[in-house]
Structure 1
């Protein structure tokens, strides 16, 4: 009797561990984490015929990918890696893995301009998973903008937000130069803000941003997007060059916190960006902090920006380095990400 119970406990523990590993693989796959960065945890070791089919079902064949497909070439790389690993172990590869790979290879030359990534987040062990679906352009620069891609700094500030959820609780947040809106959508779903206003200054970026909002939230009877019973999500065009005090008083008076990621790559934008930040500080009753994540690609450009803060009566503090804990992401080793807390100088 004891032996039977012990075996049963071991079997259940093994099943739970295998399911957890598969869930990790699924999460990494859905956000298109580079295959070489995967934490496989022996998932492919001695993978049985049925387990191979299950892996396929829980990754490439997920129903949601029919509506929001990943990059075709990424899926091909994933399938090739799995097949090559199994073959290297002299394991018989499931027919469906080969068939699926052939199907994707046949359409690899038909890659659409856009594809999707799915970020699944559980901010702590007691939370349900939240999924953010992001439409992204395959080109780093498209239609005259870089705002149609997900950049490392957006992932970094999202990670920071998930590790500091209390800062956003019941707050009115605005994101400047939001691009795809990744950071704002994660904050809206996981950090319980009262509202979040997602802004950008490029027409095509706003079109894509609005689609991302629509794919992640539903409109309520007031014709506004909501998450749960509390958070209101809004997206709007905001040109730093033309923003006025009147616009802020009419549309943005309730802002408590400003965030942005990867918006200081061009020194020609410093003046208009900081004018916008200063106006929000001056005309919003409770707006006192601007959180900025920046991938340092050019140290001179970053230094110029930091020196410019003083001319606007602003000061900065460097926050601790952000590391991946709640999201799967990898910073570019050649462009370290820094997080700045920017506030008014004390009188």
Structure 2
């Protein structure tokens, strides 16, 4: 008897984990095939009840986060249709499921939608994106895996950021930096990029997540052109920790990145410089490392597992290096 009680407890724990998976995948607009559907199907077969589907709905489309920062209308429509398809095969129809679908079937897709990444503290990093970049329930911004990996690494190594001034190069839409600001208690954080449209989106996302120069940490968004940045500018920022994710993808900009990194290492007394890359083109990445060496910058690879916090494709080849002179 004790054993069967234990198994039902285990099942409950498993259910809670699966619900969290559904929630995290839904809010980050992960590809639908990556959801844990098999568990749901088994549950429907054994229980013939729509209770678990109702729980999934509460953690996704009916959750307060979805009211505030909704994924795209199209994505919610696809997700609910998928839930209905599974439910139809296994149990009686659930009214609230059809009500939720009716809400998005009639809705017009807006030009912007939100992706939210759930943090271990129960908080979420919500990012505004253009729907135009999204197709088949996934985003065209494939530059994110290294940003997600770096954010997970930061959550595991908060001491690298706590009480420090952090500069992020090529912040993009802001995921890594916002995660660091929310979870790692830096004293100051400077987001940077150089494309006007990216900077605009970045500023909006920083604001959306309640970060500002007046708050703690003190946060700024700066335009930083790698070809024109001066040592004075870098000294003024005075970063103790410098991070960058997915900045080594274009052979044409590697030279200016290496020059910038040389200035960074000269300007601050022994800053911690961490570069995280998805290796799409080994030749480009190898060229970057070679140019670092030519500039008198050595590096070592930071290995070891990171906690799995965010849903993303972990089959990608991601490498993180620490630089020093």
- TM-score range normalised by the length of the shorter chain: 0.7 to 0.9
Partner deviation per Cα, 1:164-208 (whole Å, 9 max, x = no partner): 222222222111001011001111111222222111111111111
Partner deviation per Cα, 1:73-131 (whole Å, 9 max, x = no partner): 22122212211222222x11212212322432344xx4333211111111xxxxx3221
Q: Which residue of 1 aligns with 2:33?
A: 36
Matches within 5 A, 1:130-149: 130-140=123-133
Q: TM-score with structure 2 length normalisation?
A: 0.85
- Contact 1:22–1:43 at 8 Å: present in 2 too? no
Q: Which residue of 2 aligns with 1:290?
A: 273
Q: Which residue of 1 aligns with 2:218?
A: 232
Q: TM-score with structure 1 length normalisation?
A: 0.80
What is the CA–CA distance in structure 1 between the aligned matches of 2:51 and 2:33, rounded to whole Å?
25
Q: 1:244 aligns with which of 224, 230, 250?
A: 230
Partner deviation per Cα, 1:198-224 (whole Å, 9 max, x = no partner): 1111111111111111111254xxx52
- Contact 1:148–1:205 at 8 Å: present in 2 too? no
What is the CA–CA distance in structure 1 between the aligned matches of 2:58 and 2:102, rounded to whole Å?
16
What is the CA–CA distance in structure 2 between the aligned matches of 1:39 and 1:147, rounded to whole Å?
23
Q: Which residue of 2 aligns with 1:73?
A: 74
What is the CA–CA distance in structure 2 between the aligned matches of 1:235 and 1:14, rounded to whole Å?
46
Q: Which residue of 2 aligns with 1:96?
A: 96
Matches within 5 A, 1:266-305: 266-287=250-271, 289-305=272-288
What is the CA–CA distance in structure 1 between the aligned matches of 2:106 and 2:290, rounded to whole Å?
53
Structure-2 change in CA distance of 1:7 and 1:311 (3 Å) = closer
Structure-2 change in CA distance of 1:329 and 1:307 (3 Å) = same
Q: Check if 1:261 corresponds to 2:245.
A: yes
Provide structure 2 residue ranges, at least 5 long, that are not aligned to the other structure: none
24-33 or 47-56: which moved more? Answer: 47-56
Question: Looking at both structures, which has the greater relative contact order when contacts are Cα pairs under 8 Å and sequence separation is at least 6?
Answer: 2
Equivalent pairs counted in the alignment come to 317
What is the CA–CA distance in structure 1 between the aligned matches of 2:281 and 2:9, rounded to whole Å?
52
What is the CA–CA distance in structure 1 between the aligned matches of 2:88 and 2:82, rounded to whole Å?
10
User: Secondary structure of 1:294's partner?
Assistant: strand
User: Secondary structure of 2:204's partner?
Assistant: helix
- Contact 2:77–2:101 at 8 Å: present in 1 too? yes
Structure-2 change in CA distance of 1:292 and 1:138 (3 Å) = farther
CA shift, 1:150, in A, is: 5.9
User: Secondary structure of 2:312's partner?
Assistant: coil
- Contact 1:32–1:70 at 8 Å: present in 2 too? yes
CA shift, 1:147, in A, is: 11
Q: Which residue of 2 aligns with 1:84?
A: 85
Structure-2 change in CA distance of 1:199 and 1:171 (3 Å) = same
Q: Which residue of 1 aligns with 2:296?
A: 313
What is the CA–CA distance in structure 1 between the aligned matches of 2:240 and 2:140, rounded to whole Å?
24
When the two chains are superposed, the root-mean-square deviation of aligned CA atoms in Å is 3.0
Q: Which residue of 2 aligns with 1:125?
A: none
